[in-house]
């Protein structure tokens, strides 16, 4: 029987398909490094009962800023972010100022600086009030508290409009509170807490680092507030530079925003190593707030395993 060209091509396509499905998937070195960093931390802190669902991380390789490579472990899981959420309020404040919706005043600048550099909750309250047109205070009638909560979600809606799927930024960080309409809204409405994924925290950090958050000039201003001294003079063990910083080699540079409560310890960091490696690393841990070495273990593993420029 004479075979047509279509009859000859078909067996070849079948053979190619069989070969393709039998070959192993191409390995992802960055994902392998992220997996190894998570496993190293889980193994090291097994005696402390660190569980896989108590750790999340996202790693972005920025050696080529135009083509960032990303890997994550539980990076899409919503987690209470503590003060890391202040990155979202910082970015929103610059967006509002750029659009003329918020006046660029010395008092706002002072609050933004204290919110990021010192992680001041009081400063954050002021920034949130300006961003959302809401204030704390006595409880409100039903219709008014609904309108108040709708206004308070302005920052969440802004990030959703940019395609962020894991940002819920509508609550003030408190020490002893909340009280009044703040606790009233928690009782009445969902979601009840700020939430954030390490993937979206990393995305925001990358946009700041690469000058794509609002504008290049404003991104540079944000990065200036995030710069950390790797040899801080104070003895505070929870100085923000001491979350990831102690894991880095001499000569490294660090920009970061940490968050911690009695139940959480997080850090969102951009790191430049002496070998030319540049990367964003966001690590969230829960139920192990006093274990300062978990984040450092992840960071040390990543720093040791990430190639430098040209490698």
- Find out whether 172 and 182 touch, Cβ atoms under 8 Å: yes
| C-beta atoms surrounding 127 within 10 Å | 25
- The predicted-structure confidence for 209-224, as pLDDT tens digits, reads as follows 999 999 999 999 999 9
Q: Please report which confidence band the pLDDT of residue 308 belongs to, taking 50, 70 and 90 as the band edges.
A: confident
∠ Cα 42 44 46 (to 5°): 60
Q: Which of 7-11, 102-106, 261-265, 306-310 has the lowest mean pLDDT?
A: 7-11
Judge residue 119's burial from the number of C-beta atoms within 10 Å of its C-beta, 0-12 exposed, 13-18 middle, 19 or more buried.
buried
Distance between CA 102 and CA 96 in Å, rounded? 5
Q: Which two tokens stand for residue 129?
A: 């009030």
Strand-pair category, 55-61 with 278-286: antiparallel
φ, ψ of residue 287 in degrees (nearest 5): 65, 10
Strand-pair category, 195-196 with 167-168: antiparallel
- Find out whether 280 and 15 touch, Cβ atoms under 8 Å: no
In angstroms, the first-to-last Cα distance of the chain is 57
CATH 3.30.450 domain locations along the chain: 28-76+197-311
- Find out whether 168 and 196 touch, Cβ atoms under 8 Å: yes
Fold of 28-76+197-311: Beta-Lactamase (3.30.450)
Distance between CA 308 and CA 311 in Å, rounded? 6
Res. 4: pLDDT tops 70: no
pLDDT of residue 232: 87
- The predicted-structure confidence for 251-265, as pLDDT tens digits, reads as follows 999 999 999 999 999
pTM: 0.90
Reduced to 3 states, what is the DSSP secondary structure of residue 309? coil
Q: Which of 5-19, 28-42, 90-104, 126-140 has the lowest mean pLDDT?
A: 5-19
């Amino acid at each position: 029987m004479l075979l047509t060209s279509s009859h000859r091509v078909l067996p070849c396509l079948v053979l190619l398909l069989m070969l393709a499905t039998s070959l192993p998937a191409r390995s992802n070195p960055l994902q392998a490094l992220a997996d190894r960093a998570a496993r190293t931390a889980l193994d090291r802190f097994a005696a402390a009962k660190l569980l896989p669902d108590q750790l999340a991380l996202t790693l972005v390789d920025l050696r080529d800023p135009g083509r960032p490579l990303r890997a994550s472990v539980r990076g899409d899981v919503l987690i209470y972010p503590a003060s890391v959420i202040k990155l979202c309020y910082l970015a929103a404040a610059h967006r509002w100022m750029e659009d003329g919706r918020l006046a660029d005043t010395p008092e706002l600048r002072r609050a933004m600086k204290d919110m990021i550099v010192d992680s001041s909750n009081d400063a954050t309250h002021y920034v949130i009030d300006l961003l959302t047109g809401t204030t704390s205070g006595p409880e409100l009638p039903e219709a008014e508290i609904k309108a108040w909560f709708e206004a308070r979600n302005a920052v969440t809606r802004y990030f959703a409009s940019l395609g962020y799927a894991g940002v819920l930024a509508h609550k003030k960080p408190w020490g002893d509170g909340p009280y009044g309409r703040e606790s009233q809204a928690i009782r009445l409405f969902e979601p009840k807490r700020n939430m954030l994924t390490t993937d979206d925290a990393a995305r925001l950090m990358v946009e700041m680092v690469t000058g794509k958050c609002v504008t290049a000039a404003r991104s540079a201003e944000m990065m200036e507030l995030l710069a950390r001294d790797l040899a801080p003079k104070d003895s505070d063990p929870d100085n923000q530079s001491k979350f990831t910083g102690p894991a880095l080699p001499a000569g490294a540079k660090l920009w970061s925003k940490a968050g911690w409560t009695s139940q959480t310890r997080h850090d969102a960091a951009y790191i430049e190593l002496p070998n030319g490696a540049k990367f964003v690393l966001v690590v969230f841990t829960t139920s192990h707030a006093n274990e300062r070495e978990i984040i450092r273990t992840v960071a040390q593993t990543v720093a040791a395993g990430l190639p430098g420029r040209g490698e």
